[in-house]
């Protein structure tokens, strides 16, 4: 697979090609969680259960603006203060269970060639999973692919220490210089950097987590219709919204 980087051709060597990571029998994990000033309470419940389920590890909360600066500072702090085997990333709008983490860890521990593993999660703006590709098979335990997310993602510290910076860098559309669907968000740039350095990442196909979104319930003639808030802002109330009829 040959893919261009967001910035065009790069001269950096593929430092991750063929690299196998050190596997500890008792891996140390630090959790780096993205926390907005106001967030979903359900995520807090998921997060609490996760911490209880994995033995209450060290947690590095990242909050503030811009998101990418705060996250990178949190990662640097975790690496240099704790030197864990892995950093587990969680995002404030994800829904998950402790067993989801344990499945990710089992795959990572069994495959020293993988730099990061992540679950299946729904796309924020499309009715499909994030990074779903028609050219890949998802029948096996895991599928190696380029683009990922930070919803519940396990990344090896060894890879992060090898990965050139910048890690997070947002860029508008290179042709129009407008922030549109062809822009590069800072988190997507990170995964391009990982790929461009030659590291391997994989989606664990039987680990499926939720992606929370605010939705509106509208009465209809025969029941209730759900509408994501972003659709209401773009289009107004749905046509099917109506007073009930017998």
Averaged pLDDT, 175-204: 90
Residues of the chain with pLDDT > 90, as a percent, come to 51
CA distance 215 to 8: 39
Predicted pLDDT at 194: 94
Query: Residue 191 half-sphere exposure, CB side, CA atoms within 13 Å?
Result: 21
pLDDT band at 246 (very low <50, low <70, confident <90, very high): low
pLDDT in the model for residue 111: 97
**Structure tokens given for 146:** 């380029």
Distances (CA, A) of 171 to 165, 168, 196: 15, 10, 17
Q: How confident is the model at residue 3 (pLDDT cuts 50, 70, 90)?
A: very low
Backbone torsions φ then ψ of 102, nearest 5 degrees: -65, -35
The pLDDT of residue 20: 92
Q: Using the predicted structure, report yes or no on whether residue 8 has a pLDDT greater than 60.
A: no
* Residues contacting 106, CB < 8 A, separation 6+: none
Question: pLDDT tens-digit profile of 42-67?
Answer: 778 888 889 998 888 888 888 777 88
Looking at residue 96, what is its pLDDT? Answer: 93
Spatial separation of the C-alpha atoms in residues 120 and 148, rounded to whole Å:
9
Q: Any alpha helices (H) in the chain, and if so which ranges? A: 41-53, 67-82, 98-110, 157-162, 186-196, 229-235
Mean pLDDT of the chain: 87
Asked if the model's pLDDT at residue 147 lies above 90, the reply is no
Mean pLDDT in residue range 87-92: 92
Residues of the chain with pLDDT > 70, as a percent, come to 93
4 by Cβ neighbours in 10 Å (0-12 / 13-18 / 19+) ranks as exposed
Angle between helices 186-196 and 67-82 (to 10 degrees): 50
């Amino acid at each position: 697979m040959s893919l261009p980087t967001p910035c065009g051709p790069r001269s950096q060597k593929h430092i991750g090609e063929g690299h196998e990571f050190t596997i500890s029998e008792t891996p140390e994990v630090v959790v780096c969680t993205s926390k907005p000033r106001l967030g979903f309470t359900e995520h807090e419940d998921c997060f609490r259960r996760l911490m209880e389920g994995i033995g209450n590890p060290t947690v590095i909360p990242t909050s503030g603006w811009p998101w990418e600066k705060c996250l990178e500072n949190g990662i640097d702090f975790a690496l240099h203060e704790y030197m864990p085997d892995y950093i587990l990333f969680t995002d404030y709008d994800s829904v998950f269970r402790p067993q989801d983490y344990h499945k990710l860890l089992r795959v990572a521990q069994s495959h020293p060639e993988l730099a990061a593993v992540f679950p299946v999660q729904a796309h924020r703006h499309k009715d499909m999973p994030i990074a779903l590709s028609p050219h890949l098979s998802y029948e096996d335990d895991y599928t190696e692919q380029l683009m990922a997310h930070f919803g519940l993602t396990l990344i090896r510290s060894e890879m992060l220490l090898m990965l050139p910076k910048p890690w997070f860098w947002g860029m508008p559309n290179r042709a129009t210089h407008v922030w549109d669907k062809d822009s590069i968000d800072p988190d997507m740039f990170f995964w391009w950097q990982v790929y461009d350095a030659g590291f391997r990442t994989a989606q664990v196909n039987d680990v499926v987590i939720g992606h929370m979104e605010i939705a509106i319930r509208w009465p209809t003639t025969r029941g209730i219709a759900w509408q994501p808030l972003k659709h209401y802002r773009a289009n107004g109330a749905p046509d099917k919204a109506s007073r009930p009829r017998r």
